[in-house]
Amino acid sequence: MKFVSLLLISIGVSFAADIGVVEEIVAKVNGDIVTLGDLDHARRQLDADLRQQGMTGIRLQQAMAEHEKDLLREEIDQRLLVSKAKDLNINVDSDLNKYVNELQRESKLADVEKFHDYVRQQTGMPFEDWKAETKNAMLRQHVVRQEVGGKMNIKHDEVQAYYDAHKTDFVRDERLFLRQILISTEGKDAAGVAAAEKKAKDLVARARKGERFAEMARDNSDDAATAKNFGDIGGFSKGQLAANIESTVWDKPKGFVTDPIKLDNGFLILRVDEHQSSGQADLADVENEIMDKLYAPRMQPAMRSYLTQLRQDAFLEIKAGYVDTGAAPGKNTAWSDPAQLKPETISKSEVSNKPRHKKLLWTVPIPGTKSKDTTSSSK
């Protein structure tokens, strides 16, 4: 049960249950709010992320100071994107259900209550809260893809110019890119081994008839680490593979599927995804890679411009003493009744019923692009 989705990892939150405690509201964003507790949680998460990157001491203090000023901005960003998704009538229910069902299958917990407990253990959140936040994350991703990434056009002339100026970056060694399915025989008796071999042969037959190997790997491979990446095991230069395996696949064309290869721990099936020739790569072979390179420096400024426009159109009020570093020029975000000195608050129970927001603004793939090193997409 080692598989934990990135979504699960990145939105772990601990919810307090003390109804007697109140939270100060620091910003109102359309129909949502940002509380002081949200900012405290974001600050703790930032500290944990920086420490995970190996930062300590003065470096950690400097990085915290640099990023802390943007915490309110990021909380507002996330709420604006969810609000926009609702305005655009974006529906992610089918994607959400598919994701939850896939996670339950990978957790190998058929019992619903046990699966819900598993989610709580991994995230620190009740299942329904986690599911609501996962839905919000998907809504944000859809908005970014549709409204920002999908409207960034890079012309072929730009791709050609980049290729011509960086040709030495695209000189390749000969490499073989593979996917695998492993049918385990560990701990099995003779009958179990025979059943495993039959399953492997059946999978080979299905793959050779045109069934998508990546999805077959995800659904059937007993190697959990590669199954979650649709069987992708990356690229290999000459001599990096075991001799018997290299001789089986090295000179084979793209799409070739091996017979089951008997290993000590099971039966291995390999598919040749690509055989990269040595020498200068053709533009057609690296066009997607170049598109990614050209998109990357444009994505963040395009996002900030889009989020600034969302602020212009939004109902947005910010409590005095708090600063939105992404504020739209000329936008009045003053608290509606500054004469009231007591902080506006909500109960802890209301906070517990309000899902946390997760940062996924800059991790959305650009539509129509895919690099050869991507391991989580099927082929």
When mean pLDDT is compared across 101-105, 155-159, 212-216, 312-316, the lowest value belongs to: 101-105
According to the model, what pLDDT value does residue 2 have?
38
Block residue for tokens 């680490």: 225
Rounded-to-integer distance, Cα 314 and Cα 333, Å: 10
**Is 347 in a helix, a strand, or coil?**
strand
pLDDT at 261: 95
Do the beta carbons of residue 125 and residue 133 sit within 8 Å? yes
CATH topology of 6-152+290-352 equal to that of 174-277? no
For 3-7, 168-172, 203-207, which range has the lowest pLDDT when averaged over its residues? 3-7
Domain ranges of the chain: 6-152+290-352, 174-277
SS3 assignment, position 183: strand
372 pLDDT exceeds 70? no
Three-class secondary structure of residue 299 per DSSP: helix
pLDDT for 36: 94
Residue 344: which pLDDT band, with cuts at 50, 70 and 90? low
Q: Which band of pLDDT confidence, cut at 50, 70 and 90, is reported for residue 336? A: confident
341: pLDDT strictly greater than 80? no
342 versus 333: which is more confidently predicted?
333
Residue 166 CB: number of other CB atoms within 10 A? 12
Largest CA distance in the chain: 81
Higher pLDDT, 52 or 79: 79
Percent of the chain with pLDDT over 90: 62
pLDDT of residue 91: 96
Higher-scoring residue by pLDDT: 276, 142: 142
**What does the pLDDT read at residue 10?**
40
- The pLDDT value given to residue 285: 82
Q: Which residue has the higher pLDDT, 201 or 373?
A: 201
pLDDT at 346: 60
- DSSP lists the bridge partners of residue 203 as none
**Fold for domain 174-277?**
Chitinase A; domain 3 (3.10.50)
pLDDT tens digits for range 189-225: 999 999 999 999 999 999 999 999 999 999 899 998 8
Using CA atoms, how far apart are residues 337 and 171, in angstroms rounded to an integer? Answer: 64
Query: 226 vs 66, 218, 221, CA distance in Å?
Result: 37, 8, 8
Residue 228's pLDDT band (boundaries 50, 70, 90)?
confident
The mean per-residue pLDDT over the stretch 233-257 comes to 92
Angle subtended at Cα 100 by Cα 95 and Cα 101, rounded to the nearest 5 degrees: 100
- When comparing pLDDT for 315 and 123, which is higher? 315
Q: What is the CATH number of domain 6-152+290-352?
A: 1.10.4030.10
Percent of the chain with pLDDT over 70: 83
Question: What's the DSSP call for residue 376?
Answer: S
What's the pLDDT score for residue 337?
62
Least confident among 58-67, 180-189, 197-206, 287-296:
287-296
Q: Give per-residue pLDDT as tens, 83-130.
A: 999 999 999 999 999 999 988 888 888 999 999 999 999 888 899 999
**Residue 144 identity (one-letter amino acid):** V
Per-residue pLDDT at 361 exceeds 50: no
Q: For the packed helices 112-123 and 127-147, what is the interaxial angle rounded to 10 degrees?
A: 70
